[in-house]
Chains A and B, each alone.
Chain A
Amino acid sequence: MSASTNTEPMLSADGKPLKQSLARALRRQKIRALLLIAPLLAFIFIAFILPIISMLFRSVENDIVATTLPQTVAALQTWDSSTGELPDEPVYAAFASDIQKAAKAKIHTKVGLRLNYEQSGIASLFKKTARKAKKWDMEADGPFKEKLIDIHKGWSNVETWQTLKVHSSNYTSGYFLNAIDMHKTASGPEFQPENKQILLTLFGRTLIMSLAIMGSCLLLGYPVAWLLANLPMRHANLLMILVLLPFWTSLLVRTSAWKVMLQQQGVINDVLVNLGLVADSARLVMINNETGTIVAMTHILLPFMILPMYSVMQTIPPSYLRAAKSLGATNTTAFWRVYFPQSVPGIGAGSILVFILAIGYYITPEIVGGTKGVFISNRIAYHILRSLNWGLAAALGTILLVAVLILYWAYDKMVGIDNVKLGG
């Protein structure tokens, strides 16, 4: 105790205060550790984090309108879009000059495609207008209001100009609004007409079905993991191979195999019909719907549930259960009060893994999901590969990423991420 009241600092062998040299030694160790993992960190940053950030950035980026049609955007500033009246000649003249420049540089169609996401018909409106506008003399050929309206009646539609004005800023919330079934209008964000609302439904379906898949993986996986952990080594190894075997088979092969099993003329239906359990005319529909997706994905994700649970259960000494029983607990009590609580970290790890994998799944729902069993990822893929609306795809992806992070955070608050164990 007297040392703590002593004002003289403790010195190390080289005469410096002990605290200082200890801190320095620790710092050096930390730097060395950091240097050792620096290549990995740099790799992850360049090859993983940066591309994700740049992809996410597309969900708000919208400079194409302002860079392609700068004069129009400036002229539209003074136009009040809420009056329902067409803009005046200066706006039309500015547009005529912009579209002529854009047509000569062959960039007019890009901005047409961009605005067509918001209002159908703008793509061809721009194409048609640019073809004619290329030949105009900007000095002599005015006024352009009648000329443009002559080319296409779209230019006498106030909505066209409203769309142009609403989507002229360099950064936009439009893609995010689209991603939640809303759209930007001259009078603020509004819900899409009901017959176009699809994305919120898909988000909800993705969450619910991922939870269902997680639940069925847990129900099927827990007994298997328990067996794996408690059987004698010889049998456990065989069982482990059976768990891992599908893991080593191609994902597409496994998914297609489920098609053969589940379809109406498939193995399961044939067996049921032959046994007389199901009438030939009332064969079960088990594929191209939610059932198909849940069955196939449960099978595919099962190893991700079993392996973390197994590695946790292996560390639970069997003597605990025996001790509980020797103290008078029934089998059920011993399991629920002694064994189960100790296996919770494994359940947590397996569930998080399966849920997060399921929520972003794409290929299996695409093959067996029909129209009722597809996920939001299928829609993201559609917008990346087919409609080429990368901004919307990026917004959907961002929402999905944030949703997963929020769920992870909530899970941490409720269960505690320290309680999750992926291995011994």
Chain B
Amino acid sequence: MKSTKTILTGAALSLVAGSAFAGSHMASEMTIVSWGGAYSKSQLNAYHDPYSEMTGVTILNDDSSSTAVAKLRAMNEAGNITWDVVDVEAAPAMQLCDEGLAMVIDPDTMLAAAPDGTPASEDFGDMLVSECFIPQIVYSTTFGYRTDLVGDTAPTSVCDVFDTAAYPGKRSLFSVPINTMEWALLCDGVAKADIYDTLETEEGQDRALAKLDTIKDDVIWVSSGSDTPQLLADGEVIMGATYNGRLFSLIEEQKQPVAMIWDGQVMDLDGWIIPAGLSPERQARALDYIMFATDTQRLADQAKWISYGPARASSAPLVGKHADLGIDMGPHMPTAPENLSRAFLMNYDFWADYRDDLDAKFQAWLAK
């Protein structure tokens, strides 16, 4: 009897101690889901470590972002959500929001204002593409090429990818219709502004696939962002598409003979969502973390470790040099003015509607 009492008292004490330690009714441990690799490392340096130091919270990392939507849906059905903050791209974030799996965010009360007092909703501006999405970085999918394998005139345009006469050799593309079909239409002479209207029609879809037919035999189709850097490094392809941060690391950190074609880069957003249905303590903790991790300075800090542009307007002037290499990071951002002028903006609504349809057509075309 006595021992039970001691245990109970002990448990009560530790409960009290736990909540006192965590501050005002916040969980003292949180699980953050992200992509792993260099990207998670940049978040660890810029957000997690400073936050843990400040609050004493233990942060657990889970590299499941690539399958986050499916897993969150399964967790929701099982009634046991084990994640507190999840890093996803804009399109999956919109889908999570639509399915009611992500919490709705009010930017002006839940996110930090800029140092000059500009409210978060204005500072993020157009980046707030969904009411559940907290933008973090702008990244782009673009091409890199082997400087030693493309001959004397280096490619400068995304359409050089489709020019097998001037640039003979293999090129790598993602085996998904997103981006690939836009590039095909762009290089078949469709104006940037008309691409999605064209892609809505059967004729436009056929036109894109017909353009891709001209290079089909010269393409190695890849499924993950790490494939193209590897293929470029091995000399398996002379040019290939992947995320700009991966190419930065290949060029500047691994010193491979590779250069970038910023032309036709397709910009996309990556950011946080908070799963719906967390307990109040965990939700408070997640919101507290988000408030800290997406303020102006923190977003600019992340660019010290990876070449992705901060999603806040007020962060751009604060982007400095790479933490280890000492390179000025400004020109390596997809949002740098000279890169931005050649960018192409993805239409999320179009892909939300047409992804299933076009994916079936694209896969059938690939299998032919």
Contact = CB atoms under 8 A, between A and B. Distances in A.
B353 A123 contact: yes
A197 B70 contact: no
Given A123-B353, A195-B206, A387-B359, 11 more contacts: A113-B99, A116-B353, A116-B356, A120-B357, A123-B98, A124-B353, A195-B361, A265-B234, A288-B221, A371-B175, A386-B70
B235 A265 contact: yes
Interface string A233-260: 0000000000000000000000000000
A388 B69 contact: yes
Contacts of B342: none
Contacts of B360: 192, 196, 198
Contact of B364 (A106, A196, A263, A385): A196
Given A124-B349, A195-B361, A372 B70 contact: no
A264 B357 CA distance: 34
24 contacts: A109-B98, A109-B99, A110-B100, A112-B98, A113-B95, A116-B352, A116-B353, A120-B353, A120-B357, A120-B358, A123-B98, A123-B352, A124-B352, A192-B360, A195-B365, A196-B360, A197-B364, A198-B367, A263-B236, A265-B235, A371-B366, A382-B359, A384-B70, A385-B67
B354 to A, nearest CB: 5
Interface string B125-140: 0000000000000000
A117 B95 CA distance: 14
Interface in A98-125: 106-107, 109-110, 112-113, 116-117, 120-124
Q: Which of B223, B354, B355 has the most CB of A within 10 A?
A: B223
B353 A121 contact: yes
Interface string B225-242: 000000000111000000
Contacts of B223: 366
A18 B64 CA distance: 66
A287 to B, nearest CB: 9
Contacts of A371: 175, 221, 366-367
A201 B365 CA distance: 12
B98 A370 contact: no
Contact of B100 (A107, A123, A265, A384): A107
Contacts of B220: 288, 370
A212 B70 CA distance: 33
Contacts of B322: none
A158 B242 CA distance: 41
B73 A388 contact: yes
Contacts of B356: 116-117, 120, 387, 389
Nearest to A378: B223
A121 B354 CA distance: 7
B364 A198 contact: yes
Contacts of A266: 234
Contacts of A224: none
Nearest to A260: B234
Nearest to B97: A109
Contacts of A195: 206, 361, 364-365
Interface in A179-226: 192, 195-198, 201-202
Interface in B55-99: 66-67, 69-70, 73, 95, 98-99
Interface in B157-173: 170
Q: Which of B206, B359, B360, B361 has the most CB of A within 10 A?
A: B360
Given A113-B98, A120-B357, A264 B364 contact: no
B210 to A, nearest CB: 12
A379 B206 CA distance: 23
Q: Which of A116, A196, A197 has the most CB of B within 10 A?
A: A196
Nearest to A107: B100
CB-CB nearest 9 A-B residue pairs: A109-B98, A120-B357, A198-B364, A371-B366, A196-B360, A385-B70, A121-B353, A265-B235, A385-B67
A130 to B, nearest CB: 10
B100 A106 contact: yes
A134 interface: no
Interface of B: 66-67, 69-70, 73, 95, 98-100, 170, 175, 206, 220-221, 223, 234-236, 349, 352-361, 363-367
Contacts of A197: 364
A233 B236 CA distance: 46
A379 B363 CA distance: 10
B367 A264 contact: no
A281 B367 CA distance: 26
Interface residues of A, number: 38
B337 to A, nearest CB: 33
A127 interface: yes
A263 B233 CA distance: 13
Contacts of B363: 198, 379
Contact of A120 (B73, B99, B206, B354): B354
Contacts of B353: 116, 120-124
A273 to B, nearest CB: 13
Contacts of A127: 98
Contacts of A366: 223
B357 A370 contact: no
Nearest to A197: B364
B236 A110 contact: no
A280 B364 CA distance: 32
Nearest to B68: A385
Nearest to B220: A288
Given A121-B354, A370-B221, A202 B367 contact: yes
Nearest to A108: B98
A102 B170 CA distance: 50
Contacts of B366: 371
Q: Which of B95, B220, B349, B365 has the most CB of A within 10 A?
A: B220
Q: Which of B99, B170, B206, B356 has the most CB of A within 10 A?
A: B356
A384 B359 CA distance: 14
Contacts of B359: 382, 387
A385 B95 CA distance: 13
A192 B356 CA distance: 14
A127 B352 CA distance: 11
B361 A388 contact: no
Contacts of B355: 387
Interface string A360-392: 000000100011100000010010111111000
Nearest to B350: A124
Contacts of B354: 120-121
Contacts of B175: 371
B361 A265 contact: no
A345 B235 CA distance: 48
Contact of A264 (B221, B236, B365): B236
Nearest to A393: B70
A325 B354 CA distance: 70
A201 B364 CA distance: 9
A385 B367 CA distance: 21
A107 B356 CA distance: 21
A220 B368 CA distance: 31
A390 to B, nearest CB: 8
